[in-house]
């Protein structure tokens, strides 16, 4: 991961299994393994260089510990697996035990960085809490030097920039792999995020690799990640469907698509010196994986969910039906494997009704199309439901006797 970030390549720190639990969701151990494997395989053999999968928080309970251990063992080689823990020696030992002996293993220790958070979490000043983290890094490295140790500076958005920079340098010298700056309560605006990462990056030792963990409470998680990218940060915490505490964080599928679907635009954001990937990720799996996360957690995909929602690739009105390329920002079929679909709603036109009828095996003349259009609109308003399901429309058409004849004289 350090190699990727220092080379200017993007690393996703996947939080849907760990921070997603604070969104009142729970992924089974088997599903965590599946998600980690499939997310890593989007990058081929370079999965461990592009994805850190935060498998869980072992200190929660025995079942959580076993889930993290299972991900570490069974997703080995597909991603870099991380266990997350508090800044306590016992927790660090437990986290190391959960991942040790597996390739690309990591632990992330959460340390308070702001004065308010430090007094709440550790009952001492921030400088003392950050200083104590060096002993935890050493303890983890002594347990197993093959397990990388990362530090998450909680509430970094309200912490002293100089203090964090000084301790990030000390901790990196002590053996820390990455220092994560967290907007724990999601209060930042994009210019706040850019200022935070610019100031800390300017003051740290060149060996320090910074990461961003930015919450979405003001709806700006994605924008703040882009601001961090503009400062040179390349490790970004995201979560499938944006699952995380309170309002979540930037959605994995959105940030990944944004950076991968249009290389020219990515170059404008990241700089044209290097591509953002060792292996360019395949995006066609995004809708399928998002749907799987939705099914596992019970968090619905809506018609307005970007990239993977049920509205992507759908057309319901006349002008978009005639010129769909003018009304969509990308080709959903070529990039995502999402086949465009014409949907009947109260906004349908004669062309839309005729096209849907043809898809269902019916040929309509002008009078039949006009009658069908009136029926569609009336039904939508009568039921107060915009979409008229294909099955309902097909039953109406069967009553008209408009089935398209087949070559042998039967009806399709």
What was the pLDDT predicted at 61?
97
Does residue 211 register a pLDDT over 70?
Answer: yes
Q: Bigger pLDDT: 15 or 400?
A: 15
What was the pLDDT predicted at 272?
72
Q: Bigger pLDDT: 345 or 329?
A: 345
Does residue 410 register a pLDDT over 60?
Answer: no
- CATH class held by domain 2-281: alpha beta
Does residue 325 register a pLDDT over 90?
Answer: no
Q: What is the pTM of this model?
A: 0.91
CB neighbour list of residue 293: distance below 8 Å, 6 or more residues apart: 16, 35, 240, 241, 243, 299
* pLDDT bucket at 404, cuts 50 / 70 / 90: low
What was the pLDDT predicted at 411?
52
What was the pLDDT predicted at 320?
67
What was the pLDDT predicted at 356?
92
For 252-291, the pLDDT digits (tens) are: 999 999 999 999 989 988 887 778 999 999 999 999 999 9
Rounded to the nearest integer, the mean pLDDT of the chain is: 93
> Can you give the residue ranges of every domain in the chain?
2-281, 350-400
Least confident of 52-66, 127-141, 203-217, 307-321: 307-321
What was the pLDDT predicted at 399?
83
What was the pLDDT predicted at 400?
80
């Amino acid at each position: 991961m350090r190699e990727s970030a220092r080379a200017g390549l993007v690393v996703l720190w996947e939080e849907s299994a760990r921070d997603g639990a604070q969104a009142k969701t729970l992924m089974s151990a088997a599903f965590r393994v599946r998600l980690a494997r499939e997310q890593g395989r989007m990058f081929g053999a370079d999965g461990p260089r592009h994805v850190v999968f935060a498998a869980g928080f072992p200190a929660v309970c025995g079942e959580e510990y076993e889930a993290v251990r299972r991900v570490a063992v069974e997703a080995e080689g597909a991603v870099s697996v991380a266990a997350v823990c508090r800044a306590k020696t016992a927790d660090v030992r437990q986290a190391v035990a959960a991942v040790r002996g597996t390739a690309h293993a990591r632990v992330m220790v959460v340390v308070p960085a702001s004065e308010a958070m430090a007094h709440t979490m550790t009952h001492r000043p921030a400088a003392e809490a950050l200083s104590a983290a060096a002993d935890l890094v050493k303890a983890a490295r002594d347990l197993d030097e093959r397990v990388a140790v990362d530090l998450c500076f909680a509430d970094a958005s309200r912490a002293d920039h100089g203090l964090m920079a000084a301790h990030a340098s000390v901790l990196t010298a002590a053996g820390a792999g990455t220092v994560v700056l967290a907007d724990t309560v999601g209060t930042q605006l994009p210019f706040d995020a850019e200022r935070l990462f610019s100031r800390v990056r300017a003051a740290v030792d060149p060996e320090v690799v910074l990461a961003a963990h930015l919450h979405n409470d003001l709806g700006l998680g994605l924008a703040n990640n882009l601001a961090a990218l503009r400062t040179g940060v390349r490790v970004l915490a995201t979560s499938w469907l944006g699952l995380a505490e309170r309002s979540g964080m930037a959605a994995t599928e959105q940030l990944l698509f944004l950076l991968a679907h249009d290389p020219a635009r990515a170059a404008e954001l990241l700089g044209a010196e290097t591509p953002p990937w060792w292996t360019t990720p395949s995006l066609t799996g995004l809708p399928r994986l998002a749907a799987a996360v939705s099914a596992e957690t019970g968090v619905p995909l809506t018609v307005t969910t970007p990239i993977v929602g049920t509205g992507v690739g759908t057309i319901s009105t006349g002008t978009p039906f005639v010129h769909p390329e003018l009304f969509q920002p990308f080709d959903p079929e070529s990039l995502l494997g999402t086949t465009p679909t014409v949907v009947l709603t109260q906004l349908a036109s004669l062309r839309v009704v005729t096209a849907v009828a043809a898809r269902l095996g019916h040929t309509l003349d002008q009078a039949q199309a006009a009658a069908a259009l009136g029926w569609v609109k009336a039904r939508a308003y009568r039921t107060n439901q915009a979409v008229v399901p294909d099955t309902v429309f097909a039953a109406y058409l069967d009553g008209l006797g408009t089935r398209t004849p087949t070559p042998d004289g039967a009806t399709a």
